[in-house]
Structure 1
Amino acid sequence: MFKPPALEAPMIRRRTLTTLGLAAATLLAACGGGGDDAPAPAAVTPPPAPMLANQLYTQTNETTNTVLQYSRAANGTLLRVAAVASGGQGTNGIRINGTPGPNTLGSQFSVVTVPERQLLLAANGGDNSISVFALDAASGTPTLLKNTRTQGLRPNSLAVAGKVVYASFLGGTLQLGAYRLADDGSLQQLGLYNVAQMGALNPANVAPTQLLVSPDQRFVMLSTGTASNAVLAFPVNADGTLGNPVANTTQLTTPFAGQFVKTGNGSTIYLSTGITGVSLTAYTLASTGVLTQLSQAMAAGVGAPCWLSVTPNGRYAYVGNGSGSISSYGIGNDGTLTLLQSIAAMEPSVLAGVNSVAGDAWVSPDGKYLYSTYLGADKIVSYAIDASTGALSKVGEVIVGTSSKLGLQGMAGV
């Protein structure tokens, strides 16, 4: 049928526009734009989470116990950042026998950090409690999560393995405890242990000085006091409770502090200080819990070698002496100990008749700096470590300012 031109022209124009539209869409698609096939915007990579680092912690151990935070500068110096109440009480420079003096907890590790969980724990010897803090990943500032009273008397050393906390107690008959650590910082008792009875030791001689978990977490090592001459290796059960210990008594003389060290040949040894006689001894730890002596070294002209810190590379050990000095030692690949300097560092006392007591100490993760408390001088001193010789060079100090000038106790860092 013949159609007039007036009716045919609009239809031709509509077909032409449709064809042009399809062609334009095809071109846009070929250029990567337009239509449902356009790629999604590139994902934005979030900034890395802040890492907990360059912080140092100690506790005043005053009646109202307080954890102190210091930031560590690149040159090893310290800057006080925060003071956070622990919710517990310290001993305020009063020993368990009622007399004043430094090191009233008689221990190492009264303050410990758990960097992978961003936690800090502190033992409150004045009211028999343990405080758990969360550490801010960016600033390192502690926030008290929970303060838990224990059934032990005067907690003085702490160790953490997974979600279990172990605590030693300076007084009473139940001088070792195991606790389940909850996410809210609370502690649930798993067991309390009579150390003297389980180790067949004279109760009058047992005054624990330090707890330590072996690297494989198979044993809790307990230095039971300088009068007992014993380090007990408690086997760890699957639920975190402890079995009957192996009593290492014949090869140790007045042990105070211990550390596990990986040597240059990859083996792991156990180091122990001795408060009298030989200053430092190296041992192997068998799968049975038995310690076997490897090597010994002794510093001359020092008194009461007690506290122990080791560089992360396992080359150098530093022993804090009750007489107020620090001795340095070299550690061979086979565990052989060599005295480097009997007096590698020393600080004077600030109180008449009181030794400065080079106490709790900590080495930075990069092995560049040693930080030592001086319990009788109420301060923390920073030392640079010479990587080739292990020599110490003082780079700074901070006065803590406890009320008694004797309260300072414990040290840990990240």
Structure 2
Amino acid sequence: MAELLARWHRAMEEIPEAQWQALTAPAGLPFYSWRWLQGLETSGSVAPRQGWQPCHLSLWREHDLIAVAPLYLKGHSYGEFVFDQSFAQLAGQLGLRYYPKLLGMSPVSPVQGYRFHVAAGEDAAALTALMLELIDDFCREHHILSCNFLYVDPAWQGLAEAAGCATWLNQQSLWSNGDFKSFDDYLASFNANQRRNIRRERRSIGAAGLTVTPLAGDDLPASMVRHMHSFYARHCQRWGAWGSQYLTEAFFAFAAEQLRENLVLFSAHRGDPFDPVAMSLCVYSHDTLWGRYWGSTEEIENLHFEVCYYAPIDWAIQQGLRSFDPGAGGSHKRRRGFLAQPRASLHRWSDPRFDSLLRGWLPPANAQLLEEIEAENAELPFSRRDLPLAAPQGAPDEQPEANSLGRGGDLG
């Protein structure tokens, strides 16, 4: 490893786009593309004044980029959806400063898949261990108590655990495609009572005079992506201080021009799909759909369920997508076909007392979380023979639950 050079970066623009993409593109996650992360930075959505300081780590062999870790210094815990406020409280009780902390994730996106991206042919285990050592050195030098990697890629998780990271499980949601050919095929997996409920909810949208139209690819004008900001802002403002409006109008303008190939809007309208009453914005790859944001100008019963769950599931089936991660939310997702899933975050703490306390707490906490997931999924309204079980893959509400060490989610 002696021939390698490590660099820390305060902005994505310090790293060549082509070389970043060569490392991250194989994972197929739009949220870790150079343009996505660059857009967050240049739009002011992710910036020091917002409590997000880009602090990306790269490894080079001469002029070749061989590994990158998207990282941020955080001055708070918002926009993460893995709630560590009790960790911060414990740090205060021990006389330790919890913030700033070092964080690895795609900002404000609780999307599974975080990892150190390593060039093909390189020793991923050795480079993971080396980069973690560099991160430990950085944290000691700058008196940073913790480094946290959220929503990690299960394929990378074992490498980081072997290098000393502690695992904390949180609960999120996932819909999986059981080779359905239509939404009716999907409905057939529910018990009779829930099939009636979902059909009733979907019919109520038509009774309100609304149609929901997906807009993607050539059918998605840039103007509609820009227009989505007004729906997003309206929805956030409804919640006042808890609204969590992270993305700026400039990010939607950037996305309209640079990110449209991975975006799909679901427009609820009376006649013209480009004159919507409500919209949701989703992101998709070759096999996965992610629910992100929504908003409405009218209060219409069941409209949220249609625009954010049913229409996207219908579209995902038509596109042959493997799964749909709906974003944040609560138990209402379960009854609409989203299974509870464990998602792992990985952590390192520089203070021995703090490290010992949390590593002692984690195993029983993780075991309890898995029991809760099993109990939740046992109550799902599926016919048992058709239960579309999914491989563990995730997110609940930005406001912390009382008396917990944290569970998390976004605006879905």
TM-score (normalizing by structure 2): 0.25
* Higher share of residues assigned helix: 2
| Greater RCO, CA 8 A, separation 6+ | 2
- TM-score of the aligned structures, taking structure 1 as reference length: 0.25
- Answer with 1 or 2: which has the greater Rg: 1
